[in-house]
């Protein structure tokens, strides 16, 4: 709020400050109410995300050596290898039936055999002796397998257990049908199937005297058939495209040029834009433009030919002038050649005379150097003789003086 002393002055806002915000969008104004499902047909299970994360932590699906191309190529290729999985009851979920125990033991025996085989291969490369002997473990596993097969589960539980073991996928629908027939006819309550397959499963969630509730999971063979049908349609479309386009690399590269830098939708849009240009109206406009371009090209060719002719004429005239200049010189060339041939002997004699002069010059220089050296030597000899004569005269005078002294 403004200061009261400025209230009477014009242009001063003395009203209280009010801050307003705009309404929220319609999407944010709507309050979503989560409906809770209270149906008896839906069973809510408590899920602990932390335990699930710890259970599946570090587990990956290896795609090494897999190929889903199926029937596109000549050889048959498969994707992931499917296996039948059996359900193992956890703690507090009930008591295992003999059939479930047999299936669990059979699965564990198979895993134990695989582990022993891996241990055999690993022990060949190691020298540790404190571990178990793989041969002994393998023998014990064989004994356990023999004991397991000697239980004769088929005789104890009946043909139903054998059918579940050999063909669990087809056995489950048969059980469901028999149980439904038993309910319709008012017979006793059907047995509860407890086996779980990877591709199909039928397990009752709750049963009463009048109704039985099952959880059904469809087998994906139908989905695979649909995928194969789609692949067959794709193959037919590819064959039609190959028949239309052909096997020429130039045509294929022209069609796939845009697909290398754009997405498939962008390439299709480019092809559609090109096909719209084939409309008769567009072709008429293009033809009219091409005619104008052809006329301009013809005019340019004429102008270019005229310019080229002018250049050729100028070059020819220059060559003609040069030929005219050289005609007068060409007439005097034979006389010049004769004179050069006559003067060749004089040139040779002049060369010999110059060589002789050079030799005389060198000998003269050598003689002058020897004369200079001889004159210096003569001067030295004269000086030596003069010095020697002076010493001899001095010696003679000294000898005469001594002789005179001796005579006296």
Assigned domain for 101 exists:
yes
* Count: domains in the chain: 1
Higher per-residue pLDDT: 124 or 309: 309
The candidate with the shortest Cα–Cα distance to 104, out of 87, 92, 80, is 87
pLDDT of 193 = 42
- 401 within a domain of the structure (yes/no): no
Confidence band, pLDDT 50/70/90 cuts, at residue 130: very low
183 pLDDT exceeds 90? no
* Residue 143 resides in a domain: yes
What's the number of CA atoms in the CB half-sphere (13 Å) around residue 177? Answer: 5
Q: Give me the percent of the chain exceeding a pLDDT of 90.
A: 12
Structural domain range at position 197: 70-227
pLDDT number for residue 383:
93
| Residue 280, domain member (yes or no) | no
Rounded Cα distance, 248 and 220, in Å: 40
The dihedral formed by the CA atoms of 312, 315, 321 and 324, expressed in degrees to the nearest 10: -70
Cα-to-chain-centroid distance, residue 64: 19
197 assigned to some structural domain:
yes
- Of residues 74, 78, 71, the one with CA closest to residue 236: 71
Q: Which of 28-37, 97-106, 162-171, 335-344 has the lowest mean pLDDT?
A: 162-171
pTM of the model: 0.21
Would 152 be classed as within a structural domain?
yes
Task: Specify the pLDDT at position 303.
Answer: 85
Q: Return phi, psi of residue 202, to 5°.
A: -140, 110
Q: Does the residue 279 lie in any domain?
A: no
Q: Please indicate, yes or no, if residue 271 is contained in any of the structural domains.
A: no
Distance CA 119, CA 114 (A): 9
CA distance 362 to 197: 123
Q: How many CB atoms lie within 10 A of CB 171?
A: 20
Q: Tell me the pLDDT tens digit for each residue of 195-229.
A: 333 333 444 444 445 566 666 666 667 677 778 88
Chain centroid to CA 189: 63
Rounded alpha-carbon distances, angstroms, from residue 302 to 51, 310, 313, 368, 389 = 88, 13, 17, 87, 117
pLDDT in tens, 352-376: 999 999 999 999 999 999 999 999 9
């Amino acid at each position: 709020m403004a200061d009261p002393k400025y209230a009477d002055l014009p242009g001063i806002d003395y009203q209280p400050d009010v801050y307003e915000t705009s309404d929220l969008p319609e999407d944010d104004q709507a309050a979503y109410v989560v409906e809770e499902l209270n149906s008896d047909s839906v069973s809510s299970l408590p899920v602990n995300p932390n335990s699930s994360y710890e259970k599946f932590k570090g587990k990956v699906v290896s795609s090494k050596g897999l190929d889903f191309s199926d029937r596109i190529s000549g050889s048959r290729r498969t994707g992931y290898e499917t296996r039948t999985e059996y359900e193992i009851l956890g703690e507090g979920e009930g008591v295992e039936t003999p059939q479930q125990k047999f299936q669990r033991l059979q699965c564990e025996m198979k895993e134990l055999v695989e582990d022993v085989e891996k241990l055999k291969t690993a022990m060949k490369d190691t020298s540790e002796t404190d571990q178990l002997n793989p041969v002994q473990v393998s023998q014990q596993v064989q004994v356990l397998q023999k004991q397991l097969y000697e239980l004769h589960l088929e005789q104890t539980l009946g043909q139903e257990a054998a059918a579940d073991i050999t063909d669990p996928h087809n056995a489950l629908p048969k059980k469901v049908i028999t149980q439904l027939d038993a309910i319709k006819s008012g017979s006793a309550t059907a047995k509860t199937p407890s086996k779980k397959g990877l591709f199909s499963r039928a397990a009752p969630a709750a049963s009463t005297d009048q109704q039985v509730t099952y959880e059904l999971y469809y087998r994906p063979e139908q989905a695979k058939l649909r995928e194969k049908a789609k692949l067959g349609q794709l193959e037919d479309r590819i064959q039609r495209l190959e028949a239309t386009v052909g096997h020429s690399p130039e045509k294929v590269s022209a069609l796939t040029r845009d697909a290398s830098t754009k997405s498939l939708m962008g390439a299709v849009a480019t092809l559609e834009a090109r096909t719209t240009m084939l409309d008769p109206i567009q072709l008429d406009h293009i033809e009219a433009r091409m005619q104008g371009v052809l006329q301009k090209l013809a005019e340019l060719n004429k102008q270019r030919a005229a310019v080229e002719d002018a250049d050729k004429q100028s070059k020819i005239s220059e060559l003609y002038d040069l030929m005219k200049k050289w005609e007068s010189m060409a007439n005097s060339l034979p006389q010049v050649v004769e004179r050069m041939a006559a003067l060749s002997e004089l040139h040779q004699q002049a060369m010999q005379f110059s060589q002789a002069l050079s030799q005389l010059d060198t000998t003269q220089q050598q003689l002058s150097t020897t004369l200079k050296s001889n004159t210096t030597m003569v001067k030295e000899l004269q000086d030596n003789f003069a010095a020697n004569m002076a010493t001899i005269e001095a010696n003679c005078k000294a000898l005469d003086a001594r002789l005179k002294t001796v005579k006296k």
